[in-house]
């Protein structure tokens, strides 16, 4: 099934990815590796929100949600329900466990969607 929107996806806000893009979990350990100099302060040496890879992924997820919402609202579906349908259309006779593995969902989350 192909769902078409009336227009293109909104342009991404992130236009440049710095070469030293910071991964969320790695910041604290990197900061502890070297002592702070007298010219640095904890406030100015901290990375900015836009430098975190996890924030870029989070922002992209929100953008996709905004793009899909008008289409899925007309169909009476949530995004999770939609991707479950797409996964079901791929192959018949999938178990709940197989489907959950494919979609990274626990069976207690997936079962109500399937019902």
- Per residue in 64-113, pLDDT tens? 999 999 999 999 999 999 999 999 999 999 999 999 999 999 999 999 99
- Per residue in 5-32, pLDDT tens? 344 444 444 445 555 556 655 454 444 4
- Per residue in 27-75, pLDDT tens? 544 444 555 555 655 566 788 998 899 999 999 999 999 999 999 999 9
**Which of 65, 88, 90 lies closest to 78, judged by CA?**
65
Q: How far apart are CA 37 and CA 46, in angstroms?
A: 13
pTM for this entry: 0.57
Which residue bears the tokens 């604290």?
Answer: 28
Q: What angle do CA 10, 50, 12 make, to 5 degrees?
A: 10
Q: What kind and span of H or E run contains 53?
A: helix 53-75
pLDDT for the residue numbered 28 = 47
């Amino acid at each position: 099934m192909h769902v078409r929107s009336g227009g293109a996806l909104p342009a991404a806000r992130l236009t440049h990815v710095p070469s030293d893009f910071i991964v969320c979990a790695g910041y604290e350990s990197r900061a502890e590796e070297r002592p702070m100099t007298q010219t640095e302060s904890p406030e100015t040496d901290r990375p900015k929100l836009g430098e975190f890879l996890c924030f870029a992924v989070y922002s992209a997820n929100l953008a996709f949600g905004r793009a899909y919402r008008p289409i899925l609202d007309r169909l009476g579906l949530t995004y999770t329900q939609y991707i479950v349908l797409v996964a079901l259309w791929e192959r018949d006779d999938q178990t709940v466990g197989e489907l959950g593995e494919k979609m990274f969902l626990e069976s207690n989350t997936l079962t109500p969607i399937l019902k």
